[in-house]
């Protein structure tokens, strides 16, 4: 197979907004190809360790599992032959090491499901880093402004006074809880063979859990991951929306230091980071819904529902990671006008300050 430059984020004119941060790179076509090859290499190593194939064959297969040897675009085109990219990967590996037992005992879904979990695991590293970073920025705002009065707003109307610190502490708690939930999501490899009856006497060394049973049509892990990503996107979106509303010209209680103008109105100081975070976060619910709908699958192997997961999962990781990255920038650069806040808030805010302290101490 010839090697040529693969498609990347640089070809997407929306990538700067909708594919920001490290998560997007971890779900690229090359990242998926790497994960598929990692499965095949781990399978060969495990089978050699169990005495099922020779050590020489395992080394040959592992050497062939170098993602730089192949073009993701050609693998993608080859996926049409059997309806998934694992077939194309196995084909090029067999061509590279024709005498070695490539993909022995495994089925295509074993490879793709395991790759999906590897892609998710790797994408969650930068995603969680940005989510925790946004929570840290919210905590710093809560600490600095625990006693800064601000008018509370219910149904978008002025209500009773609270503190900006309590509002920021709310963002912090929601982001921390979402990050904790994502961190605890169960990510397991797949190895059930053609009909889900394989019980291999070995474990794949991929940093993933070993499942109790094959989960070809038991999609709780995908649903759990999707739900946790959706909650994280929601937490990000809530904080971003608050920043957008507080940045309105008529309110002007906060502003992003790195805000941007407009092609026709350069005098404007738009909260670009918060707006972009919100734009990414709002895509998550539909993607989550698609993944949850795909959980209803036929018998031992699905006819279409499984295939419907791949793109939404990739996009969900991308937009959630991008949203977290944007919110982190927004909160880390947020400028607070305490005078403007205090001018609209009259009354006792001691209880709010106490809640802020409790939240910070609990962290």
In the residue annotation, 301 being an active-site residue is answered as yes
Q: Give me 262's structure tokens.
A: 């407009």
Q: Give me 128's structure tokens.
A: 């969680």
**Site of tokens 């032959």:** 81
Q: Give me 218's structure tokens.
A: 């038991």
3-state secondary structure the chain: CCCCCCCCHHHCCCHHHHCCCHHHHCCCHHHHHHHHHHHHHHHHHHHHHCCCCCHHHHHHHHHHCCHHHCCHHHHHHHHHHCCCHHHHHHHHHHHHCCCCCCCCCCCHHHHHHHHHHHHHHHHHHHHHHHHHHHHHHHHHHHHHCCCCEEEEEECCEEEEEEEHHHHHHHHHHHHHHHHHHHHCCCCECCCCCCCCCCCCCCCCCCCCECCCCCCCCCCHHHHHHHHHHHHHHHHHHHHHHHHHHHCCCCCCCEEECCCECCCCCCCCCECHHHHHHHHHHCCHHHHHHHHHHCCCCCCCCCCCCCHHHHHHHHHHHHHHHHHHHHHHHHHHCEEECHHHHHHCCCCCCHHHHHHHHHHHHHC
The catalytic position among 9, 153, 160, 301 is: 301
In the residue annotation, 249 being an active-site residue is answered as no
The catalytic position among 186, 262, 311, 358 is: 262
| Residues taking part in catalysis | 262, 301
């Amino acid at each position: 197979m010839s090697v040529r430059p693969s498609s990347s984020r640089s070809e997407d004119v929306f990538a700067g907004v909708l594919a920001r941060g490290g998560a997007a790179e971890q779900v690229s076509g090359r990242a998926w190809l790497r994960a598929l090859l990692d499965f095949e290499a781990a399978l060969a190593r495990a089978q050699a360790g169990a005495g099922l194939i020779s050590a020489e064959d395992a080394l040959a297969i592992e050497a062939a599992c170098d993602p730089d040897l192949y073009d993701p675009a050609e693998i993608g085109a080859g996926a049409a032959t059997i309806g998934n990219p694992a077939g194309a990967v196995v084909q090029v590996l067999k061509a590279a090491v024709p005498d070695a037992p490539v993909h022995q005992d495994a089925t295509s879904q074993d490879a793709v499901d395991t790759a999906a979990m590897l892609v998710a695991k790797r994408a969650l590293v930068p995603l969680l880093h940005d989510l925790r970073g946004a929570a840290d920025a919210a905590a710093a705002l809560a600490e600095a402004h625990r006693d800064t009065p601000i008018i509370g707003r219910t149904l978008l109307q002025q209500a009773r006074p609270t503190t900006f610190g309590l509002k920021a502490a709310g963002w912090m708690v929601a982001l921390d809880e979402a990050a904790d939930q994502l961190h605890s999501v169960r990510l397991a490899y797949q190895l059930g063979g053609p009909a889900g009856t394989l019980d291999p006497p070995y474990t794949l060394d991929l940093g993933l859990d070993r499942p109790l049973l094959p989960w070809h049509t038991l999609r709780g892990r995908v649903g759990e991951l999707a739900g946790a990503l959706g909650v994280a996107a929601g937490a990000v979106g809530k904080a971003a929306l608050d920043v957008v509303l507080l940045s309105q010209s008529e309110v002007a209680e906060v502003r992003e230091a790195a805000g941007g103008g407009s092609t026709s109105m350069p005098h404007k100081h738009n909260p670009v980071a918060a707006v972009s975070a919100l734009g990414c976060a709002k895509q998550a619910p539909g993607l989550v819904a698609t993944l949850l709908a795909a959980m209803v699958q036929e018998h031992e192997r699905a006819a279409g529902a499984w295939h419907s997961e791949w793109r939404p999962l990739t996009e969900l990781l991308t937009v959630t990671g991008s949203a977290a990255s944007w919110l982190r920038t927004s909160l880390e650069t947020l400028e607070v006008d305490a005078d403007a806040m205090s001018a609209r808030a009259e009354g006792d805010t001691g209880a709010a300050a106490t809640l802020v302290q409790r939240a910070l101490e609990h962290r």
